[in-house]
Every structure is written in C-alpha cells, then in structure tokens.
C-alpha cells in the first residue's frame, strides 16, 4: 500500500457540514389557456413525467353563497353531483370511475365548488366524460339527498367531538358573527335538516354555468388535446353569468375569549383568530413571509416556543386563510388541558412581538426559503399544481404569478413585515379554547377574566351567541 492511499484511508471526515454545490435552476411549467364560446375558461399545464392527468372544474361560487339559514347548501349541492345524472345512477358513476382507476372528488370550499378527476392519461377521455356529465346533468334525486343528509349529520357529530375541528367552527362564528364566513361549510345539525331539493336545484341552476366556471388540466396531456376534449364535452353547456351574492364577511367581532367546556376532552384545542387579508391584496407576499416567520413550518416562532422549547404541543402553527373577501387569520395548537391558557398566551405574545421587534435577516432568509421550497415541491405532483393554478384563476390573478412567486417572496423586507404585523396581528384578537375547562379554570380566570365559558351541551353553532335558547 503506498503512502497516498494510506493517507486517503485515514483522512478524517469533516466535523462541519460540507457547503452546498451551485444551485440548479428550477423548471416551471407554463400554463396556456383558451375560452370556449359559452364562456368556459380552459387552462392547461402540460407536465409529462408521469402518465397521469388531473382535471378540475371550478364553479366560482361556494359556501359564501349559502343563505343564512341553509348552512351547507353549497357543499350538499356539490357533493350530490356524483349521486346520479339523467343517464347514470350513483352506483354506475362510482363503478365506472373506479373501473378506470380514477378518483372523482367533489365538494364546496369558500368561493368555489369543485369536481376533480385524477386518472391515468390513457383513460382521461372516458373519465372526463363522467366529470362533464355530473356537472351538467345532475339529478339531485330525493333519496340521494336524504342519504347524504344523514351521512353529513353523522359526520358533523364526529367533527364536533374533535376539539380541533370544533374550535375552528366556533372561531368562525365568533369572528364573523351572522355573516356568511361565520358559518360552517359543512352545515350545522340545525341547518342540514332544512335544506330541500328545491334549494339544491335552485343553487345548481343559479351558479353552475360555463361563464361562472374554470376548467384546469394538468399533467400528461397536450394543450391541443385538452382544448379538443373540453370543446367536445363542455361546448354544449349553456347559461349566462350568475347574479352575485352579498358580502360574505360582515363586521368582525374582536377581543372575545370563548371557552367550550367539553368534559373529558383528551386534549384542549387553542385557536387565536383575527381578520386577515383578501387573496388579491397587494400585501399577499408580505403576509406569506410574515406568517412563515410566525407560524408557517416547523421552525416558525409558534412551533419553536410551544413545541420545541416547551414541549407543550405536537405542533403549533398559523395561516392566513385567503379568500375573495377578507378571511380569517388563524393560529392553532392542541395541548394537554392543563396548559391551554399558557399556549394561548404564548400565541398572543408571539403575534405582539412581531409588531414591535424588527425581524433580523438571519431569520428572514430561512423563512423565505421555506416558502420557496414549499412552492417548488407543490409543483411536483399534478394535483397540487392544478390546485395552485386553479386558485390563481379563481381570484382573477395572472397565471404567470407561478413564474414570479420566487421573486415576489424574495423582495419582502423587514420594515414591511413589521408594518404588516402592526396592522394585521396587533391587539384585540379572539381566543377560542375547546377542552376540559375544570383543568384550566384558575389559569383562565387569571389571564382572561372576561372569558365566556359555554358548556358543550349548550353549544349552538347557528347562533351568534353560540348558545341554545
């Protein structure tokens, strides 16, 4: 063995991480679009590395259009689309779609209702035929309505026994009161029984129109093939623009502390909420960076303080729920009942800190990298790619935002974050805790003497007071 070889064998491995190599340029797909004669906007993003296609039809109306006493109407309508058309029963639809290995998903969100199909590209024409049929020719048969109503009521019972879900339902009502954004998208035990076939048919007729819709294809398909399929399957769809619905946010109530007492809850859910911003707000990228620092991702401040430093939760985080109108900012965590008040206090403290202490570059850089990394990964699978494009289209934003996202995030600076936080994360947030209240009664009295404690058995999600009468 010669000397050099021995030297190589005994060479020590570095005691500090080796630095990265030169970065590679990410490849971003370019969306192309066309509008059919009937007004349907069709967008295609070709990405051919896996033989799959994701196609999503968005109706630009969702749960915000539920009438005040009919919470859950948009979701019931969208969910029933696949339960029978003029030519196919619910069973035939399920069997046909599943035989293609496809998944067909449908429901309502805020601002939109959707039907999505994800399928091997060779089976797309057949699969898209099902999607087109359920959107244009749904039957809304009475027995299907009853079946879904019973299932939704049971599912709601289950959600209402999960502290995390229930805290979010309550938070929406506390923040938005009787305005549309205050209700639960899936309805309430009181509202679901009131929804009739007539309501559903009317909702479909009013909003499910080509001029109120967007069809987005992503994956292994050429734009020419996608446009031809869209023309063939949706070209005959008719109907003018829908009349618009009322403002969904009303006036927010602030500085309320509400506790839902759920005896024997295995953990407490803590939510801090305030009004956020619209998706189209010019401060969008500042909001993204601000939230990334505060509560977006593992090493964000909320998770750092609540989980990493103190072991109080499996995970704490926050998000701006971006909608057409001003949606909520929500910070949330689950913790043992005993530490619920401490967690709420830590959340409020971190929000306040952002308003009066500038963020250093050593923190800002990594938190921007988190956003840019998440963005890059979201383009890796076609369902999240299609989802991202759909939301840009839904809010009338330029589709080339996906090519500008990285520079938008990079350009945000510390004074912008501080100013944004001062306006949007300052004092007077609402605090909602769902948990076993006797285990945090003393801490609650001390920290939040004005808290209103509502027993679970007396909770009414329909009422702005949240109490049954």
Partner 1 sequence: MAIHVWYHVGSKDDPSGRSGFAHLFEHMMFKSTAHMKAEMMDRLTEDVGGYNNAQTGDDTTFYYEELPSNYLQTLLWAEADRMGSLNVDEANFKSEREVVKEEFRTSVLAQPYGLFGYDIDKDSFAVHPYKRPTIGSIEDLDSATLADVQKFHATYYRPDNATLVVAGDFDPQQLDSWIDKYLGAVPKPDTPIPRVDVKEPPRSASKTITETAPNVPLPAVALTWLAPPRSSADRWPLQIAAVILAQGESSRLYQSLVYRQQIAQDVGAEADLREDAGIYVINATVASGKTVDAVKKAIDAELRDIEQKPVSEGELQKAKNQIITDQLRRRETNDGKAFAIGNAATLLHDAAEVNNGLKKLQAVTAADVQRVMDKYLKNGKSLTIDYESK
- Interactions with partner 1, residue window 376-405 (CB under 8 A): 376-377, 380-383
If binding is defined by CB under 8 A, does position 269 make contact with partner 1? Answer: yes
Tell which one of 245, 369, 414, 441 touches partner 1 (CB under 8 A): 369
If binding is defined by CB under 8 A, does position 373 make contact with partner 1? Answer: yes
Distance of closest approach, residue 27 Cβ to partner 1, in angstroms? 10
Q: State phi, psi for 451 to the nearest 5 degrees.
A: -60, 140
Q: Which residues pair with 275 in a beta bridge?
A: 328
Tell which one of 113, 313, 390, 429 touches partner 1 (CB under 8 A): 313
- Calpha distance 71→192 (Å, rounded): 7
Q: By CB under 8 A, which span of 70-78, 248-256, 283-291, 368-376 interacts with partner 1?
A: 368-376
Distance of closest approach, residue 426 Cβ to partner 1, in angstroms? 28
Instruction: Return the SS3 of 196.
Output: coil
**6-65: which residues touch partner 1 (CB under 8 A)?**
13-24, 50-52
Q: By CB under 8 A, which span of 62-70, 351-359, 370-378, 410-418 interacts with partner 1?
A: 370-378
If binding is defined by CB under 8 A, does position 453 make contact with partner 1? Answer: no
How many residues bind to partner 1 according to rule CB under 8 A?
Answer: 75
If binding is defined by CB under 8 A, does position 154 make contact with partner 1? Answer: yes
- Calpha distance 88→135 (Å, rounded): 13
DSSP conformation class of 267: S
For residue 365, the tally of other CB atoms under 10 A from its CB is 10
Residue count (the chain): 469
Q: Which residues pair with 257 in a beta bridge?
A: 431
**For residues 303, 305, 308 and 309, what is the CA-based torsion angle, rounded to 10 degrees?**
180
Alpha helices in 45-188 (DSSP H): 73-80, 90-99, 124-136, 142-160, 163-176
Nearer to partner 1, 102 or 271 (CB): 102
If binding is defined by CB under 8 A, does position 298 make contact with partner 1? Answer: yes
Chain-centroid distance, C-alpha 364: 25
**60-99: which residues touch partner 1 (CB under 8 A)?**
90-91, 94-95, 97-99
Residues 123, 100 contacting (CB under 8 angstroms)? yes
If binding is defined by CB under 8 A, does position 414 make contact with partner 1? Answer: no
If binding is defined by CB under 8 A, does position 236 make contact with partner 1? Answer: no
Task: For residue 341, give Cα distances in angstroms to 335, 438, 466.
Answer: 10, 12, 21
Which tokens is 106 given? 């449908």
Nearer to partner 1, 23 or 282 (CB): 23
Distance of closest approach, residue 101 Cβ to partner 1, in angstroms? 3
Tell which one of 48, 142, 155, 222 touches partner 1 (CB under 8 A): 155
Residues 64, 111 contacting (CB under 8 angstroms)? yes
Q: State phi, psi for 330 to the nearest 5 degrees.
A: -135, 125
Beta strands in 277-325 (DSSP E): 316-320
**121-150: which residues touch partner 1 (CB under 8 A)?**
147, 150
Nearer to partner 1, 160 or 277 (CB): 160
- Calpha distance 167→156 (Å, rounded): 13
Chain-centroid distance, C-alpha 142: 30
Q: By CB under 8 A, which span of 162-170, 208-216, 421-429, 458-466 interacts with partner 1?
A: 162-170
Tell which one of 48, 68, 101, 415 touches partner 1 (CB under 8 A): 101
If binding is defined by CB under 8 A, does position 264 make contact with partner 1? Answer: yes
**165-204: which residues touch partner 1 (CB under 8 A)?**
none
Residues 172, 183 contacting (CB under 8 angstroms)? yes
If binding is defined by CB under 8 A, does position 358 make contact with partner 1? Answer: no
Distance of closest approach, residue 40 Cβ to partner 1, in angstroms? 27
Distance of closest approach, residue 365 Cβ to partner 1, in angstroms? 8
Distance of closest approach, residue 229 Cβ to partner 1, in angstroms? 19
């Amino acid at each position: 063995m010669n000397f050099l070889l021995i030297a190589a064998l005994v060479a020590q491995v570095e005691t500090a991480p080796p630095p990265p190599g030169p970065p590679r340029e990410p490849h971003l797909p370019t969306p192309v679009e066309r509008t059919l004669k009937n007004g349907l906007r069709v967008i295609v993003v070709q990405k051919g590395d896996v033989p799959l296609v994701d196609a999503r039809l968005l109706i630009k109306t969702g749960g915000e259009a539920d009438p005040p006493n009919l919470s859950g109407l948009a979701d019931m309508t969208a969910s029933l689309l696949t339960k029978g058309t003029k030519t196919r029963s619910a069973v035939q639809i399920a069997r046909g779609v599943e035989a293609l290995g496809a998944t067909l998903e449908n429901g309502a969100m805020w601002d939109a209702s959707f039907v999505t199909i994800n399928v091997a590209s060779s089976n797309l024409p057949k699969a898209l035929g099902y999607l087109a049929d359920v959107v244009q020719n749904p039957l809304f048969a009475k027995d299907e309505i009853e079946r879904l109503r019973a299932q939704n009521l049971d599912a709601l019972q289950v959600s209402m026994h999960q502290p995390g879900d229930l805290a979010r339902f309550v938070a929406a009502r506390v923040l938005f009161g009787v305005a549309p954004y205050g209700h639960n998208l899936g309805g309430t035990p009181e509202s679901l029984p009131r929804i009739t076939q007539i309501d559903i048919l009317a909702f479909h007729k009013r909003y499910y129109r080509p001029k109120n819709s967007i069809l987005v294809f992503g994956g292994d398909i050429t734009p020419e093939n996608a446009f031809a399929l869209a023309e063939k399957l949706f070209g005959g769809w008719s109907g003018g623009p829908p009349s618009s619905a009322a403002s969904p946010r009303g006036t927010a109530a602030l500085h309320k502390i509400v506790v839902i007492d759920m005896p024997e809850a295995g953990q407490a859910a803590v939510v801090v909420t305030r009004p956020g911003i619209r998706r189209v707000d010019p401060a969008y990228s500042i909001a993204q960076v601000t939230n990334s620092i505060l509560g977006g991702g593992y090493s964000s401040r909320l998770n750092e303080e609540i989980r990493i430093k103190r072991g109080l939760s499996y995970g704490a985080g926050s998000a701006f729920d971006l909608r057409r109108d001003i949606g909520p900012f929500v910070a949330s965590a689950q913790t043992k009942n005993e530490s619920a008040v401490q967690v709420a206090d830590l959340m409020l403290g971190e929000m306040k800190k952002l308003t009066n202490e500038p963020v250093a570059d050593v923190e800002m850089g990594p938190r921007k990298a988190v956003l840019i990394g998440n963005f890059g990964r979201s383009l890796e699978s076609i369902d999240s790619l299609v989802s991202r494009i759909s939301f840009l289209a839904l809010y009338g934003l330029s589709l080339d935002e996906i090519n500008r996202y990285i520079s938008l995030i990079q350009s945000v600076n510390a004074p912008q974050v501080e100013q944004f936080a001062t306006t949007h994360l300052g004092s007077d947030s609402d605090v909602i805790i769902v948990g076993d209240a006797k285990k945090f009664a003393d801490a609650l009295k001390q920290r939040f003497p004005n808290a209103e404690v509502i027993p679970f058995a007396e909770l009414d999600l329909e009422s702005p007071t949240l109490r049954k009468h």
